[in-house]
Amino acid sequence: MGHTFRQRIIRTSAAALAVPALLLLSACGSSGGEIGDEVRISEGMMTVTGIEQRTAEDVAALELDELAGQTPYFVTYEVAFNDGSDGDLNENFWKAKASNGEASPINVLNFGGDFDCTGLGEVSDGKAEGCQLIMVPEGATLESVSFGGAGTWRAPKAE
């Protein structure tokens, strides 16, 4: 009512195009789901190989006083870089979700200490392994991790 015939056609056409567009975007968007699932990232292919809850003792060397009481998780992953890639990975793309909201990805630089979760390791033959530290608020559990909107992996449920 009050719409011209042309306006109705435009609205119908836009709605008809929106459904296939959403289906295509969902196919290209977040994938993965389970540990071991491989997803395409701009730098190549990424696989989260493990998500392990750790203890405060495991991160004590970092002296993260502002995160005292939080639970650390180590997220291990592998990247197979695209041909011609420089093997660089923007580790700021990590995101995490906890049972009570967002968790905190912590990027740790390796200066030769004893801490063993320090981001992406050395690239060899176009591949590298890495470890991302995630800190989860006290009383919460890690639900999932994601990388740059390309993939989301569910954390295993605590036993």
pLDDT digits (tens, 9 = 90+) for 81-91: 999 888 888 88
Residue 120 lies in a domain: yes
Per the domain annotation, does 15 fall within a domain? no
Cβ-contact 79, 44 below 8 angstroms: yes
Residue 18: inside a domain, yes or no?
Answer: no
Write out the residue range of the structural domain in which residue 34 sits.
Answer: 30-154
CATH classification of the domain holding 57: 2.60.40.1240
Residue 89 lies in a domain: yes
| 92 domain-assigned | yes
End-to-end CA distance of the chain: 59
Is 3 within the bounds of a domain? no
**DSSP-assigned letter for residue 57:** G
pLDDT score of 38? 96
Domain count, the chain: 1
**CA angle centred on 147, ends 113 and 46, rounded to 5°:** 80
pLDDT of residue 136: 96
Q: What is the pLDDT of residues 100-145, one digit of tens each?
A: 988 999 998 876 677 889 889 999 999 999 999 999 999 999 999 9
Say what the pLDDT of residue 157 is.
83
Encode pLDDT of 40-78 as tens digits: 999 999 999 999 999 999 998 888 888 889 999 999 999
State the pTM of this model: 0.77
Per-residue pLDDT at 8 exceeds 80: no
Is residue 12 in a domain?
Answer: no
Question: Does residue 11 sit within a domain?
Answer: no
